[in-house]
Chains A and B, each alone.
Chain A
Amino acid sequence: QLQLQESGPGLVKPSETLSLTCTVSGGSINNNSYYWGWIRQPPGKGLEWIGTIYYTGNTYYNPSLKGRVTISLDTSNNHFSLKLNSVTAADTAIYYCARDRDGLWDYWGQGTLVTVSS
């Protein structure tokens, strides 16, 4: 059974970089059938797609995040990572990693709350 688990700091200071890792178990991320991505949910709001990466390293990002996002793969450790720089309070959210199979998100991590505050 595929499992995804997010990890990283729960508190980030304004203007700094948010860094999260998603560790995948039960399957390889080095697989041409799937993409891997990040989605977040600010408190009291809906879901927002952050970005997606393919096993080749090709990335697709939400234009609304204006170039602040970087998603990368580490196939040797079977995980992928998210970096979001210049964070503000508006980036406070539960961050989920998930597997994207041709436009559908079929496996999700439990989510991790990241708070941006000084």
Chain B
Amino acid sequence: QSVLTQPPSVSAAPGQKVTISCSGSSSNVGNNYVSWFQHFPGTAPKLLIYDNNKRPSGIPDRFSGSKSGTSATLGITGLQTGDEADYYCGTWDSSLSAYVFGTGTKVAVL
């Protein structure tokens, strides 16, 4: 049972925008940096966003991250069929003394 809640799925047409929320608490999202990962089943997860809103080199600026209070958001603009994957948020939980991942969100391109 994850302490970070994400919507099970989001969808949009190619070229459109989707946002994925990651809802937590003061012991995790509220006071620690959030990362976002893209995961195609059967492959290694890829870091998309770290420190709430920073992109590693090579990640296009179509991907963006933000945080407000105890919620974080991943945005994907200019949606492409290649973006169909599972997306996870993650952060340290100071109460649990554990790194926690969100429940995961499947992105579908209509």
Contact = CB atoms under 8 A, between A and B. Distances in A.
A16 B101 CA distance: 27
Interface residues of A, number: 20
Interface stretch (B16-24, B45-53, B66-74): B45-53
Given A46-B2, A46-B103, A47-B90, A105 B45 contact: yes
B100 interface: yes
A57 B62 CA distance: 39
B47 A46 contact: no
Contact of B44 (A37, A60, A96): A96
Interface of B: 2, 32-33, 35, 37, 39, 42-47, 50-51, 56, 88, 90-92, 96-104
26 contacts: A37-B99, A46-B88, A46-B103, A47-B37, A47-B45, A47-B90, A47-B101, A52-B99, A60-B97, A62-B99, A63-B97, A63-B98, A64-B98, A96-B45, A103-B35, A103-B50, A104-B35, A105-B35, A105-B47, A106-B47, A106-B50, A108-B45, A109-B44, A110-B43, A111-B43, A111-B44
